[in-house]
Structure 1
């Protein structure tokens, strides 16, 4: 009977200790699990923050590069616009210069001056008084019947190119039959359209 009483007295304690140990085991397991979750959560949060920071930096860098590309394109467009404007201005200036040049040197205006007596015998000279070069193809008496009274001295070979300020020189003999007029056949250097200019040869009266 004494033994039974001891067992009855110790039985509840033994059960409580066992239960306590189980509960403590669960608590430790739960604490370890929670700690693992906390550590994992912190690592995941830290990783997420790092990734978010990197993504933000990458996005900022991409936006910066995109803006730089836009600025570069704007600069190129502005340069192209400036070049186009400058080219248009040059074309405008050239057009105006050509207009003024054409006005001062019309196509239908002969660039030859009057025939001038040189003061020596029957030698005459005609200057190219225009501002454009020409090609002279023929210099002769305007009338075939007076061709024997005309002798070209310069230039010696035709056709030839002549610059402004150059001149043709020739002898135009005066007789009872008359003095031949000079016929110059020529064309502008940049054109093949034939042109003719006639000049009278008159000696001054002293």
Structure 2
């Protein structure tokens, strides 16, 4: 029962992290800019477009014209977030087939264990590749904010909401992968009690 609960918790955390990492990839709020001259306008920048939020006219966005014209941190962040999303999806598929609750492959417990471990490792890599670009953009934003060569009257970019969402997504992916790896690397049951253990887990899963 404890093993099954850890598996389900790991999958749920990983699924939440994957969904949030996908949202982080496409949200335009990676950076915010509040103009003191016009407090009714807030500029935001993401990996794909820049937007201006007006109190009366809503939000208007414009896609970036060229990938090569972007700053290095945004170019690399696009690639890393795509890698994170792809690895997270692959991890969900593999670890899903490795769950004890799934009746497919009940007789192949060793294979299911390997799928669970591989899925957990993919979630780990996915979480790290989501944290790296978010942290990189945050680092460059801090550097630009405190750059003494820029006059004080020039507006500075600040952290956007998508950065915090990306950090939380990476944390959930790493946590979910850790839980799955813990259950996948736990001690194996004896062969004599294997059928009883599988039947007990199936019964518990049906109650859930």
Same structural fold, with TM-score higher than 0.5 when normalized by the shorter chain: no
TM-score by length of 2: 0.21
TM-score by length of 1: 0.22
Which of the two has higher C-alpha Rg?
1
Higher strand share: 1
Higher helix share: 2
